[in-house]
């Protein structure tokens, strides 16, 4: 037990990647160059003040007088499977940094929860096992995860505190980081003895907002009520990540109590029972882009946001699908009615840069990064603006203050629709990228974008209506449509007659 009067010393480390294994065929393995890696004195300038778990670690540690030391923090945007050699290099860097920091009173990990490596289905569990072996059984480990993680037995066994974020959009990552530091400090000082139980549901992972009115919000409310019970430290749940061909891409409830494993299991079971009893409310429902555009035009006033969930770079998709953009063009809208933000096509962005502002070019736009992306759009395009693709997320967005560099980008006008073209894929979090290219969203009737849900934090206050559309794609809401070759058991809704078995302590 740590001396209550001595300063605590925690080491921070992590490898954060949401892996879409289906994207690997089209985009290749995720490489070392895809990761942004910082360590030591580089960490606080990068993460302090951001809505990320490490931002919360820094804020809470400073407030509580805890010393933080930093190993490697590696982050890559969602993409295909991580190459085996890449992971091994990152893993050894993380372990070396922790080893050099010893002795410590605790470890703060900053993973994602849905990491998959060539030959390893559970990046987080594998890394936690190695960290545990390094620091020993007496040093507590806390991890803040993305709720789209896959909770595994290894994550439970080798970690002491498992805290997935609760909100989607993930606007509470900083808050969960603060909670992790507070709980890890209590654990290090012997004030609490966390034990964790889990209940994995035989369902495919869920992609659904936690905003009020969605059933995922009801699950959160139940978890929070349970979290207030005597002896319960935290109750929360992983939604799972359905875009990975692994044995168990499933929602999992996780509950941590102060030394009472039976209580933890009962609480996890209670939440899982509610989810299972209400599983029909989580069944994916999809709307075609053409119907989404029709519904948007029927809205009498205000800005309408149409989000294309099926080609979300935030879920590892390439970002160059043409289905929603084609539906907008086919609607033959008057000029300055609609804008599209953004489609990933480096060739076209560079073509526009070479031609210059004011030129009219013939483009073959999108549809180049896989068989699911739709046919390229062949059209005459007026080059309205060319930029370097650098901007900062606006206040109120999920990753407020985060700086982006999307490479050469442009604003094209195609058949009256403003289209933002980018050289590096990203989902749209807010309207900063539109502002960069001279577009005021309030001057448009429709904003079409690529994102499953994170955009809501940045657009909710601006939009009179939000319409979600779906097409074939590597992040389609129709999660049952993906081939599954490695499932450990039958899952709903792939089968309707799935029998659920309660976990044993």
Output the DSSP codes for 92-146. HHHHHHHHHH-S-SEEEE---S---BTTBS-HHHHHHHHHHHHH-TTS-EEEEE-
d(C-alpha 207, C-alpha 456), whole Å: 14
Predicted confidence (pLDDT) per residue in 344-358, tens digit: 999 999 999 999 999
In CATH, what number is assigned to the domain containing residue 20?
3.40.50.2300
On whether the CB atoms of residues 196 and 288 are closer than 8 A, the answer is no
Residue ranges of the chain with per-residue pLDDT less than 70: 1-4, 504-505
74 in a structural domain: yes
d(C-alpha 397, C-alpha 417), whole Å: 25
486 in a structural domain: no
d(C-alpha 114, C-alpha 22), whole Å: 13
Q: Are residues 27 and 142 in the same domain?
A: yes
484 in a structural domain: no
Q: Is 143 helix (H, G, I), strand (E, B) or coil?
A: strand
443 in a structural domain: yes
d(C-alpha 122, C-alpha 117), whole Å: 8
Task: Among 239, 260, 282, give the residue marking a domain's end.
Answer: 282
Q: Which residues pair with 253 in a beta bridge?
A: 199, 237
Q: Are residues 129 and 263 in the same domain?
A: yes
Predicted confidence (pLDDT) per residue in 184-233, tens digit: 999 999 999 999 999 999 999 999 999 999 999 999 999 999 999 999 99
Q: What is residue 1's predicted lDDT score, i.e. its pLDDT?
A: 55
d(C-alpha 430, C-alpha 385), whole Å: 19
Angle at 151 between CA 315 and CA 489, to 5 degrees: 90
Predicted confidence (pLDDT) per residue in 379-401, tens digit: 999 999 999 999 999 999 999 98
DSSP labels, 262-315: HHHHHHHHHHHHHHHHTGGGGS-----HHHHHHHHHH--SSEEEEEEGGG-GGG
Q: What is residue 300's predicted lDDT score, i.e. its pLDDT?
A: 93
Q: Are residues 51 and 199 in the same domain?
A: yes
Q: Are residues 56 and 86 in the same domain?
A: yes
For residue 219, how many other CB atoms are within 10 A of its CB?
25
Phi then psi dihedrals of residue 270, to 5 deg: -60, -45
Phi then psi dihedrals of residue 501, to 5 deg: -115, 130
CA 84, distance to chain mean position in Å, is 22
DSSP at 229: S
Q: Tell me whether residue 277 is exposed, middle or buried, using C-beta atoms within 10 angstroms of its C-beta: 0 to 12, 13 to 18, 19 or more.
A: exposed
Q: Are residues 52 and 80 in the same domain?
A: yes
Q: In the chain, what is the straight-line distance between the N-terminal and C-terminal CA atoms, in Å?
A: 27
Q: Tell me whether residue 503 is exposed, middle or buried, using C-beta atoms within 10 angstroms of its C-beta: 0 to 12, 13 to 18, 19 or more.
A: middle
Phi then psi dihedrals of residue 151, to 5 deg: -70, 130
d(C-alpha 248, C-alpha 245), whole Å: 8
Instruction: At 263, list the tokens.
Output: 């209580």
* CB hemisphere CA count around 100 (13 angstroms): 14
d(C-alpha 420, C-alpha 409), whole Å: 7
Nearest CA to 449 out of 431, 437, 473, 474 is that of 431
Task: Among 282, 316, 341, give the residue marking a domain's end.
Answer: 282
Phi then psi dihedrals of residue 251, to 5 deg: -65, 145
313 in a structural domain: yes
* CB hemisphere CA count around 156 (13 angstroms): 22
Q: Are residues 264 and 394 in the same domain?
A: no
Q: At what angle do helices 323-330 and 289-298 cross, to 10 degrees?
A: 50
d(C-alpha 229, C-alpha 95), whole Å: 37
CB within 8 Å of 495: residues ≥ 6 apart = none
Q: Are residues 220 and 150 in the same domain?
A: yes
Q: Are residues 106 and 152 in the same domain?
A: yes
Q: Are residues 87 and 228 in the same domain?
A: yes
Q: Are residues 84 and 204 in the same domain?
A: yes
Q: Are residues 250 and 309 in the same domain?
A: no
Q: Tell me whether residue 419 is exposed, middle or buried, using C-beta atoms within 10 angstroms of its C-beta: 0 to 12, 13 to 18, 19 or more.
A: buried
d(C-alpha 487, C-alpha 456), whole Å: 32
Q: Are residues 330 and 187 in the same domain?
A: no
The number of folded domains in the chain is 2
Nearest CA to 231 out of 189, 264, 187, 199 is that of 264
101 in a structural domain: yes
Q: Tell me whether residue 361 is exposed, middle or buried, using C-beta atoms within 10 angstroms of its C-beta: 0 to 12, 13 to 18, 19 or more.
A: middle
On whether the CB atoms of residues 126 and 154 are closer than 8 A, the answer is yes
Domain that holds residue 344: 289-478
Task: Among 282, 307, 324, give the residue marking a domain's end.
Answer: 282
d(C-alpha 23, C-alpha 473), whole Å: 10
Instruction: At 424, list the tokens.
Output: 């590096």
Q: What is residue 501's predicted lDDT score, i.e. its pLDDT?
A: 84
Q: What is residue 27's predicted lDDT score, i.e. its pLDDT?
A: 86
Report strand pairing: 36-38 vs 67-75. antiparallel
485 in a structural domain: no
492 in a structural domain: no
């Amino acid at each position: 037990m740590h001396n209550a009067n001595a300063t605590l010393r925690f080491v921070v480390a992590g490898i954060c990647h949401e892996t879409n294994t289906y994207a690997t065929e089209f985009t290749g393995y995720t490489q070392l160059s895809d990761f942004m890696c910082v360590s030591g004195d580089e960490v606080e300038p990068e993460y302090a003040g951001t809505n990320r778990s490490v931002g919360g670690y820094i804020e809470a540690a400073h407030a509580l007088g805890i010393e933080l030391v930093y190993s490697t923090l590696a982050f890559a945007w969602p993409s295909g499977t991580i190459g085996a050699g890449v992971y091994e290099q990152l893993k050894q860097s993380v372990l070396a940094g922790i080893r050099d920091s010893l002795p410590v009173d605790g470890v703060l990990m900053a993973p994602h929860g849905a990491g998959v490596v060539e030959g390893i289905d559970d990046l987080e569990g594998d890394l936690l096992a190695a960290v545990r072996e390094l620091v020993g059984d007496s040093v507590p480990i806390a991890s803040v995860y993305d709720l789209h993680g896959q909770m595994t037995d290894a994550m439970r066994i080798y970690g002491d505190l498992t805290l997935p974020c609760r909100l989607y959009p993930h606007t509470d990552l900083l808050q969960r980081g603060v909670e992790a530091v507070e709980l890890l400090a209590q654990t290090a000082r012997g004030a609490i003895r966390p034990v964790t139980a889990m209940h994995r549901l035989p369902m495919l992972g869920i992609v659904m907002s936690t905003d009020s009115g969605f059933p995922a919000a009801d699950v959160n409310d139940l978890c929070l009520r349970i979290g207030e019970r005597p002896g319960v430290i935290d109750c929360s749940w992983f939604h799972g990540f359905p875009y990975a061909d692994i044995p168990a891409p499933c929602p999992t409830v996780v509950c941590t109590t102060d030394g009472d494993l039976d209580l933890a299991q009962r609480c996890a079971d209670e939440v899982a029972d509610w989810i299972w009893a209400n599983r029909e409310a989580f069944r994916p429902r999809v709307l075609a882009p053409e119907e989404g555009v029709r519904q948007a035009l029927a809205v009498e006033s205000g800005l309408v946001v149409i989000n294309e969930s099926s080609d979300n770079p935030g879920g590892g998709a390439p970002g160059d699908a043409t289905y929603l953009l084609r539906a907008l063009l086919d609607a033959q809208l008057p000029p300055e009615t609609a804008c599209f933000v953004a489609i990933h096509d480096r060739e076209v962005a560079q073509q526009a840069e070479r031609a210059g502002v004011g030129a009219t070019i013939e483009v073959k736009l999108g549809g180049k990064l896989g068989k699911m992306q739709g046919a390229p759009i062949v059209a005459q395009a007026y080059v309205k603006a060319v930029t370097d693709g650098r901007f900062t997320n606006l206040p109120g967005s999920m990753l407020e203050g985060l700086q982006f560099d999307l490479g050469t980008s442009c604003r094209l006008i195609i058949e009256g629709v403003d289209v933002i073209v980018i050289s590096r894929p990203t989902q749209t979090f807010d309207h900063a990228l539109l502002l960069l290219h001279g577009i005021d969203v309030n001057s448009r009737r429709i904003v079409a974008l690529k994102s499953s849900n994170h955009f809501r934090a940045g657009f909710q206050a601006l939009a009179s209506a939000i319409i979600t559309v779906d097409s074939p794609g590597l992040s389609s809401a129709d999660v049952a449509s993906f081939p599954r070759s490695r499932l450990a058991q039958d899952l709903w809704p792939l089968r309707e007659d799935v029998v659920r078995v309660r976990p044993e302590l």
